[in-house]
Amino acid sequence: MTRTITRYSGLVEHYRARLPLTADTRAISLAEGRTPLIKLENLAREIGFEGELYVKFEGLNPTGSFKDRGMTVAVTQAVHEGARAIICASTGNTSAAAAAYAARAGITAFVLIPEGKIALGKLAQAVVHGAVVVQIRGNFDDGMRLVKEVAETSPVAIVNSINPFRLQGQKTAAFEIVEALGRAPDYHCIPVGNAGNISAHWIGYSEVSGFETAANVLTAELRGYDRSKLVDNRPKMVGYQAAGSAPFMRGGPVRDPETVATAIRIGDPQSWDLAWAVQKESGGWFDECADADILAVQRRLAELDGVFCEPASATSLCGAIRDIKAGRIAPGSTVVCTLTGNGLKDPDIIVKGGLQGVVEVPAERSAVEKALLARLG
């Protein structure tokens, strides 16, 4: 008996021809990618948007964020080159992904995180996958500087997004979006921290639409893979930052970035030049959102459309809603917002915001019925 195996085994195998990996490179994968593109019916109606509003829910990747897309390719290549250990600085999600993929590869992960400033779920992930967790008394930017210094003398491969294979993996999200829509959206809205992901999406969109991009010139050494054209258009890329951590709005590094959206609490983005090239080439823009607005949108999305993302992720939708209402995003257009990570990583933020809907009653039928009636009327 013969049978056909159709199991999806991750984006390295699925997109191998479109990635700068040699045919004999063994994939280190957790079947990441293929995340849903969810149409926001209720929220679009609430804001009176006539176009199509989608979220790409990257929180459904194996470790709960888009970092898995970059990590599978970065770790695959690092292991191919003989690495026994990887290292990264992280606001949480990179460390979770690095820890999981290192476990899968049977190598060591060293992760540098800012003490007390990462969501508890992310710290738990790094620990459970057996990473060596180095908590530094400093912020992400300090960690990034230290990682670069240490990697000069130690036999460790850096898997932050300055590793070009990270962006190569993350560009596949753009491939999935054009496959789902049959074209690129008119606008792609995305949270910006280190600015690797906005750059990666632009590389992806540019490759499948046959356009040149400075982002590709900067990674020119990685050429030699399939870049055949699938669609005719590219989106305007719109990058949103948290107001207390918005170097792209200030025109330079922010010394002490502060925001509830800890995943984008980054004052000195590593992909600074790339991201500015993306903004110029795409005709998009950067803007910022207040913490209170980000948290309100995180809740509203969960209440109205059943999608629970982490605070940093809600920044893209928060900005998009504002720019739709202001008419800056054209009426009738197709908009995709990346939801970068899963809300379950950071339940504290919801608990702190108040447990609305939670009522306490005696363990008696009448009391429970009364609680129901109070709501049903």
Ligand X SMILES: *Cc1c(COP(=O)(O)O)cnc(C)c1O
Q: Extract the annotated binding site for pyridoxal 5'-phosphate.
A: 93, 193-197, 340
- Is residue 95 involved in binding ligand X (CB under 6 A)? no
Single residue of 76, 194, 259, 279 touching ligand X by CB under 6 A: 194
Segment interacting with ligand X, rule: CB under 6 A, options 35-43, 47-55, 177-185, 305-313: 305-313
Would you list the DSSP string of 290-325? -HHHHHHHHHHHHHHH---B-HHHHHHHHHHHHHHH
Q: What are phi and psi of 286, to 5 degrees?
A: -110, 150
Single residue of 193, 247, 319, 343 touching ligand X by CB under 6 A: 193
Single residue of 191, 235, 319, 343 touching ligand X by CB under 6 A: 191
Q: What minimum distance in Å lies between the beta carbon of 370 and ligand X? A: 41
- Is residue 288 involved in binding ligand X (CB under 6 A)? no
The number of CA neighbours under 13 Å toward the Cβ of 375 is 8
Q: What minimum distance in Å lies between the beta carbon of 190 and ligand X? A: 8
Q: Which is nearer to ligand X, 78 or 98 (CB)?
A: 98
Q: Which is nearer to ligand X, 161 or 282 (CB)?
A: 161
Order of strands, sheet of 187-191, starting from the edge strand that comes earlier in the sequence? 37-39, 52-57, 334-339, 187-191, 236-242, 285-289
Report the b/e string of 319-342 with b at 16+ CB within 10 A. bbbbbbeeeebeeebbbbbbbbbb
Would you list the DSSP string of 115-136? TT-S-HHHHHHHHHTT-EEEEE
Residue 114 amino acid letter: P
Single residue of 209, 245, 282, 340 touching ligand X by CB under 6 A: 340
Q: What minimum distance in Å lies between the beta carbon of 28 and ligand X? A: 20
- Is residue 341 involved in binding ligand X (CB under 6 A)? yes
Single residue of 278, 312, 317, 318 touching ligand X by CB under 6 A: 312
- Is residue 98 involved in binding ligand X (CB under 6 A)? no
Q: In sequence order, which residues have a C-beta less than 8 Å from that of residue 239 and are 6 or more positions away?
A: 190, 191, 192, 195, 198, 248, 275, 278, 279, 284, 285, 286, 287
- Is residue 61 involved in binding ligand X (CB under 6 A)? no
CA 301 to chain CA centroid, nearest Å: 17
- Is residue 316 involved in binding ligand X (CB under 6 A)? no
Segment interacting with ligand X, rule: CB under 6 A, options 19-27, 28-36, 47-55, 306-314: 306-314
64: left (phi over 0), alpha (psi -120 to 50) or beta: left
- Is residue 247 involved in binding ligand X (CB under 6 A)? no
Segment interacting with ligand X, rule: CB under 6 A, options 2-10, 72-80, 139-147, 187-195: 187-195
Q: Are 112 and 146 in contact (CB under 8 A)?
A: yes
Name the residue among 165, 123, 117, 108 with its Cα closest to residue 142: 117
Segment interacting with ligand X, rule: CB under 6 A, options 15-23, 185-193, 212-220, 329-337: 185-193
Total number of residues binding ligand X (CB under 6 A)?
18
Measuring CA to CA, how many Å separate 351 from each of 317, 355, 356? 21, 6, 9
- Is residue 172 involved in binding ligand X (CB under 6 A)? no
- Is residue 319 involved in binding ligand X (CB under 6 A)? no
Report the binding-site residues.
93, 193-197, 340
- What residue ranges bind ligand X (CB under 6 A)? 65, 67, 93, 161, 191-197, 263-264, 310, 312-313, 340-341
